[in-house]
């Protein structure tokens, strides 16, 4: 018979895996889907429980063996017959199968095994047998290998403080004893180490995918840089810092359409470093949103990828590089960086750099006064007052942002017949009458060698609006202590070059606000009275050069960040004042006509020659540009001549106008006023009398 000497049954209860990349350094996974086996067991160490009889005793009780007192032992009778030997003692034959005879007279042992049943399978059968030999045990079935998901846990989050790298793994499995035991030698739980667990590579991905709005539509630079993003002073812009981009081409990365991945959940911070002051998170100046230059500004992960920015007017124009970066959640610092994406496992920061060009602005040209008394009612509240009415003639009906000014088309340039507010058939100027104007710049045009350069061009057009063409102008004027005749408005005529015109900023009818004078004089460190009463040159008929003597500072004084010097803000926006006129005695001729040669060959000139153009208008056209550091050969900004931004167009300039008489005029950028070829200011002041 068979007995159970030692029996313990265990099933897997849990697995513990250790790796630095796991939460807390390790996780314990309870077994899932393993059934506790159904085990039946019966055991006895008592022989009597297994050997149920004594065969010798049974034979005695059955009488199959008897005690022979003569032989002093138990004997088995072979048979009941006699041997007849006659007169002789018979010989007893030998018994060849004595053993089998004895066995046949003594019954077998009745035995049984211990019992062991495993999930309905009998391993050790405790059925009683009469053969003296209990049933041999069956083989214990081999335990199956655990299924793939018995010890499985997904969505394990790697702690944010785990560094990139290869992290080794170790683990153990815990077996728990079930059912009854026989002579146990193990604890109720057994732990075995698990060999060859794969390591874990931690590589927290971040990308730096940036968009910087290119404000090139507002770039008035004469030489724009196509390799740089345009940022315009005083204007809003936008940046976007995305967490989606291209990373490693391996499983788990670049798994979204288009071969990219969203690294938002792996990104701790998104930051931008402007090398110039900026307002971030707003499209207008707001001190609470001010970010000082060279300061990392964080864009929270949970806000929109795109944010507004606004460029303060005081930022110096020039070339800059704006740096963006996105920092992984497990970054120990920000020094290990890689451009666009941290595809190198040793890096924790993805960055990119955007080259930008900060440029200024020129806008707001308007006529503020005309010296002809006919216009006094337009610009003055009364005939005896210098107080301005607030009526101005703008380039167009819109402002520098393209927003409607809410003005009548009457108050738009150029001045033509019908531009006068009260006298609807008037508007064209008589030669000799000047007009005052002003305009605004933003940028670094506050130095003593910065200028507004205005180059007039002259066009003749018939009064019916036809025949527009460029012309040359000649004039008589008294300067240099004498009357000068037939002077050409040209830089090539030395007499014209010497005919410098002057103006005072503080002219009563220029209406420069007193606070502009005060602020500007204070910043320049000069006396305000002397500043506004300085009679300074503004150029010639062929070229106007507005300088520091015709400039005030009008930048913001209120609502500024604490870090900013108020003077830097005030001087960052400049207002320029100027005036211009065509000489009273003016003569118009086709461009290129050699007037000097004609006079030489025709016994001089008297102004009545047939080649002079009459019965039309002279259109004064201004090419307006900014000049830095006195470099007139390389102007910086243009009002309407830049290839990217035409401020005449932006401000709603009308390229076709109909005058009071119904004549339609096709206009060009820069057209400012019309002068009548046949009317002079001197006509209004001639002395009359009888003779």
Spatial CB neighbours of 441, under 8 Å, sequence gap ≥ 6: 360, 361, 362, 452, 573, 574, 576, 626, 637
> What percentage of the chain has pLDDT greater than the value 70?
98
Helix/strand/coil for 409? helix
CA distance 222 to 206: 40
pLDDT over 60 at 689, yes or no: no
How long, in residues, is the chain? 691
The stretch 239-260 carries a mean pLDDT of: 86
Exposed (0-12), middle (13-18) or buried (19+): which is 16, by Cβ within 10 Å? middle
**DSSP string of 458-515, one letter each residue:** EEEEETTS---EEEEEEEEEEETTEEEEEEESSTT-HHHHT--EEEETT-GGG---HH
Average pLDDT on 298-302 reads 95
Closest CA to 449 of 547, 550, 551, 521: 547
**How many angstroms separate the CA atoms of 172 and 174, rounded?**
7
Residue 13, both tokens? 């209860």
How many other C-beta atoms lie within 10 A of the C-beta of residue 31? 17
pLDDT in tens, 136-155: 999 988 888 888 889 999 99
Residues 494, 18: Cα–Cα separation, whole Å:
93
When pLDDT is cut at 50, 70 and 90, the band that residue 260 belongs to is confident
Sequence-distant (≥ 6) Cβ neighbours of residue 279 within 8 angstroms: 285, 286, 289, 290, 291, 309, 310, 311, 312
The string over 321-340, giving b where at least 16 C-beta atoms fall within 10 Å of a residue's C-beta and e elsewhere, is ebbbbbbbbbbeeeeebbeb
Q: 207 and 60 in contact (C-beta within 8 Å)? A: no
The pLDDT value recorded for residue 686 is 58
Q: What is the mean pLDDT of the chain?
A: 94
Check whether 687 has a pLDDT greater than 50.
no
Domain-by-domain residue ranges, the chain?
Answer: 7-53+114-202, 55-105, 209-359, 393-684
Enter the pTM of the model.
0.83
pLDDT given at position 688: 44
CATH number of 209-359: 2.60.40
Whether the bond between 414 and the residue before it is cis, its omega within 30 degrees of 0, is: yes
507 within 8 A of 547, measured Cβ to Cβ: no
| Residue 80 confidence (pLDDT) | 58
Distance CA 362, CA 445 (A): 10
What is the spatial distance between Cα 595 and Cα 593, in angstroms, rounded to a whole number?
6
pLDDT value at residue 690: 38
Per-residue tokens: 204: 């927290």
What distances in angstroms separate CA 230 from CA 219, 597, 639, one per listed residue? 7, 51, 17
Q: How far is CA 506 from CA 368, 509, 518, in A?
A: 14, 8, 12
Between CA 497 and CA 631 the distance in angstroms is 19
Residue 148 CB neighbours (<10 A):
7
Give the CA count within 13 Å in the CB-facing half-sphere of 58: 13
DSSP assignment letter at 137: P
Give residues with Cβ within 8 angstroms of 557, minimum separation 6.
Answer: 519, 566, 569, 570
Residue 66 banded pLDDT, cuts 50, 70, 90: confident
Tell me what pLDDT residue 81 has: 60
Q: Is 207 helix (H, G, I), strand (E, B) or coil?
A: strand
Chain centre to alpha carbon of residue 497: 54
No. of helices (H) and no. of strands (E), the chain = 9, 41
Greater model confidence, 308 or 180:
308
Q: What is the mean pLDDT of residues 416-437?
A: 98
Checking if the pLDDT of 691 tops 60, the result is no
What's the burial of 496, exposed, middle or buried (CB within 10 Å: 0-12/13-18/19+)? buried
pLDDT tens digits, one per residue of 641-673: 999 999 999 999 999 999 999 999 999 999 999
Q: What confidence tier does 297 reach under pLDDT thresholds 50, 70, 90?
A: very high
Backbone torsions φ then ψ of 601, nearest 5 degrees = -95, -5
Could you tell me if 609 and 595 are in contact, meaning their C-beta atoms sit under 8 angstroms apart?
A: no
Q: Distance between CA atoms of 153 and 606, rounded to whole angstroms?
A: 106
Give the per-residue pLDDT at 79: 67
When mean pLDDT is compared across 25-34, 358-367, 434-443, 628-637, the lowest value belongs to: 25-34
Average pLDDT over residues 520-545: 98
Cα–Cα distance for residue pair 436/375, rounded to 1 Å:
12
Distance CA 1, CA 135 (A): 7
**Who contacts 141 (Cβ-Cβ below 8 Å, separation ≥6)?**
118, 121
Predicted confidence at residue 103, as pLDDT, reads 81
96 has pLDDT over 90: no
């Amino acid at each position: 018979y068979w007995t159970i000497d030692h029996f313990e049954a265990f099933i897997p209860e849990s697995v513990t895996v250790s790796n630095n990349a796991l939460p807390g350094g390790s996780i314990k996974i309870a077994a899932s889907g393993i059934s506790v086996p159904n085990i039946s067991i019966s055991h006895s160490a008592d022989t009597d429980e297994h050997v149920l009889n004594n065969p010798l005793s049974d034979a005695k009780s059955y009488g199959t063996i008897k005690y022979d007192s003569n032989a002093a032992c138990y004997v088995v009778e072979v048979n009941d017959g006699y041997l007849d030997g006659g007169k002789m003692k018979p010989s007893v034959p030998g018994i060849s199968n004595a053993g089998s005879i004895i066995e046949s007279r003594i019954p077998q042992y009745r035995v049984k095994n211990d019992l062991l049943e495993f999930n309905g399978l009998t391993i050790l059968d405790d059925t009683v047998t009469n053969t003296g030999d209990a049933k041999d045990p069956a083989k214990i079935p081999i335990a199956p290998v655990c299924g793939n998901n018995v010890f499985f846990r997904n969505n394990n989050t790697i702690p944010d403080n785990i560094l990139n790298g290869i992290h080794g793994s170790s683990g153990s499995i815990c077996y728990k004893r079930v059912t009854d035991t026989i002579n146990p030698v193990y604890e109720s739980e057994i732990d075995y180490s698990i060999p060859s667990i794969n390591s874990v590579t931690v590589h927290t991905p971040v990308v730096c995918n940036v968009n910087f709005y290119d404000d090139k539509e507002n770039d008035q630079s004469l030489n724009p840089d196509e390799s740089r993003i345009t940022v315009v002073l005083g204007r809003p812009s936008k940046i976007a810092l995305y967490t989606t981009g291209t990373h490693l081409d391996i499983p788990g990365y670049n798994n979204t359409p288009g071969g990219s991945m969203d690294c938002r959940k792996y990104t701790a911070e998104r930051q931008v470093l402007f090398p110039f002051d900026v307002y971030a998170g707003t499209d207008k100046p707001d001190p609470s949103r001010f970010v000082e230059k060279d300061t990392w500004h964080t864009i929270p992960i949970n806000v929109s990828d795109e944010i507004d920015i606004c460029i303060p007017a005081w930022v110096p124009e020039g070339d800059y590089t704006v740096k963006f970066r996105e920092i992984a959640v497990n970054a120990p610092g920000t020094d290990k960086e890689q451009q666009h994406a941290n595809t190198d496992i040793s890096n924790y920061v993805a960055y990119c750099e955007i080259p930008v060009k900060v440029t200024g602005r020129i806008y707001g040209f308007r006529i503020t006064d005309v010296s002809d008394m006919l216009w006094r009612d337009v610009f003055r509240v009364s005939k005896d007052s210098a107080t301005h009415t607030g009526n101005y003639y703008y380039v167009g009906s819109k402002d520098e942002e393209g927003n409607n000014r809410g003005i009548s088309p009457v108050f738009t340039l150029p001045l033509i017949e019908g531009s006068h507010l009260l006298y609807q058939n008037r508007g064209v100027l008589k030669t000799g009458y000047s007009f005052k104007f002003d305009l605004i710049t933003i940028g670094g045009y506050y130095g003593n060698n910065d200028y507004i350069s205005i180059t007039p061009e002259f066009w003749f057009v018939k009064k019916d609006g036809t025949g527009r063409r460029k012309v040359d102008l000649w004039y008589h004027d008294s300067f240099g202590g004498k009357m000068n005749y037939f002077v050409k408005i040209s830089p090539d005529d030395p007499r014209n070059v010497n005919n410098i015109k002057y103006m005072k900023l503080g002219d009563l009818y220029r209406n420069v606000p007193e606070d502009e004078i005060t602020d500007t004089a204070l910043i320049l460190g000069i006396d305000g009275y002397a500043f506004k009463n300085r009679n300074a040159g503004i150029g010639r008929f062929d070229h106007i050069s507005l300088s520091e003597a015709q400039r005030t500072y009008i930048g913001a004084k209120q609502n500024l960040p604490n870090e900013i010097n108020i003077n830097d803000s005030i001087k960052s926006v400049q207002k320029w004042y100027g005036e211009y006129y065509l000489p009273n005695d003016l003569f118009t001729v086709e461009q290129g006509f050699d007037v000097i040669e004609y006079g030489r060959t025709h016994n001089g000139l008297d102004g009545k020659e047939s080649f002079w153009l009459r019965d039309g208008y002279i259109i004064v056209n201004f090419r307006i540009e900014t000049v830095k550091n006195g470099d007139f050969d390389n102007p910086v900004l243009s009002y309407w001549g830049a290839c990217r931004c035409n401020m005449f167009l932006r401000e709603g300039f009308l390229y076709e106008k109909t005058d009071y008489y119904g004549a339609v005029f096709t206009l060009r950028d820069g057209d400012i006023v019309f002068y009548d070829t046949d009317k002079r200011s001197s006509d209004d002041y001639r002395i009359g009398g009888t003779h």
